[in-house]
């Protein structure tokens, strides 16, 4: 029986995936890497330094930058990203998410957060959702990022559940892969072609309700 939900943040709870893309697009332009939907989708759920490496590889310029210069590029991206985050309010919560979280709480489901983002606590506080997430996986504690199962296994562990008792919710292909490898049930929100590996699929957060999930799981 399902007893808990492990959530991704960017692209699931809030529209920050657009902000991440915007800030990475600037970096891509700066280093002369071609920007594409494939690259944009591929960056979702991937840690900051790994994302930068993907962009540099896409432009064939990875060896043109020293490690220090790479850290500078990533820091610049994060500064630009945080400027966008600073303007966030609860209006940036994606449709239906607040209602869904309330529904989970009143039905006794446990909740944790499995975001690759070091900015997750800040984003949750901007959204005034911190109280819903007493348990947050610390991305600094991970030896491997998504698509490795580690982050979703830790998300289950934090709420004292077995992976089989958890549903993971994602907008990224790398994240769905991580949930599946952790042996949790996966929900993929967004382009069903990108998220074909998800057990349960929704085009939009507003479609995610306990009843709709149950329908697809039966």
Least CB distance to ligand B16 at residue 1 (A):
26
Q: How far is CA 26 from the centre of its chain?
A: 20
Annotated catalytic residue within 1, 8, 68, 204 = 8
Which listed range, 7-15, 89-97, 159-167, 204-212, lies at the site for ligand B16 (CB under 6 A)?
Answer: 7-15
Asked whether 46 and 174 are in contact (CB, 8 A), the reply is yes
Which listed range, 76-84, 103-111, 140-148, 169-177, lies at the site for Mg ion (CB under 5 A)?
Answer: 169-177
Task: Based on the shown chain and the rule CB under 5 A, indicate whether residue 41 belongs to the binding site for Mg ion.
Answer: no
Instruction: Pick from 5, 6, 8, 42 the residue near ligand B16 by CB under 6 A.
Output: 8
The number of residues that bind Mg ion (CB under 5 A) is: 6
138 in catalytic set: no
Q: Is 82 exposed, middle or buried (0-12, 13-18, 19+ CB in 10 A)?
A: middle
Q: Which does 62 bind (CB under 5 to 8 A by kind): Mg ion, ligand B16, none?
A: none
Instruction: Pick from 42, 45, 149, 163 the residue near ligand B16 by CB under 6 A.
Output: 45
Which listed range, 26-34, 39-47, 97-105, 195-203, lies at the site for ligand B16 (CB under 6 A)?
Answer: 39-47
Residues that bind ligand B16 (CB under 6 A): 8-11, 17, 20, 43-48, 51, 78, 115-119, 172
Per the annotation, where are the binding residues?
8-10, 24, 43-48, 51, 77, 115-119, 146, 170-171
> Which residues belong to the active site?
8, 10
């Amino acid at each position: 029986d399902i007893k808990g939900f492990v959530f991704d943040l960017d692209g699931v709870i809030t529209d920050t995936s657009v902000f991440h893309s915007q800030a990475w697009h600037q970096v891509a332009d700066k280093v002369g890497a071609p920007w594409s939907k494939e690259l944009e989708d591929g960056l979702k759920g991937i840690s900051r330094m790994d994302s930068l490496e993907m962009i540099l590889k896409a432009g064939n310029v990875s060896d043109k930058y020293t490690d220090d210069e790479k850290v500078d590029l990533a820091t610049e991206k994060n500064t630009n990203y945080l400027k966008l985050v600073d303007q966030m309010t609860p209006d940036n919560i994606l449709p239906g998410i607040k209602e869904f979280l309330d529904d989970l709480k009143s039905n006794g489901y446990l909740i944790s957060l499995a975001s690759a983002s070091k900015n997750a606590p800040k984003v949750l506080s901007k959204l005034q959702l911190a109280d819903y997430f007493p348990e947050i996986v610390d991305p600094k504690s991970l030896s491997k990022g998504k698509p490795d199962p580690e982050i979703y296994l830790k998300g289950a562990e934090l709420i004292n559940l077995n992976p089989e008792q958890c549903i993971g919710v994602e907008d990224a292909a790398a994240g769905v892969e991580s949930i599946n490898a952790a042996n949790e049930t996966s929900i993929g929100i967004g382009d069903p072609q990108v998220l074909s590996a998800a057990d349960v699929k929704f085009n939009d957060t507003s479609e995610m309700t306990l009843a709709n999930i149950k329908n697809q799981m039966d």
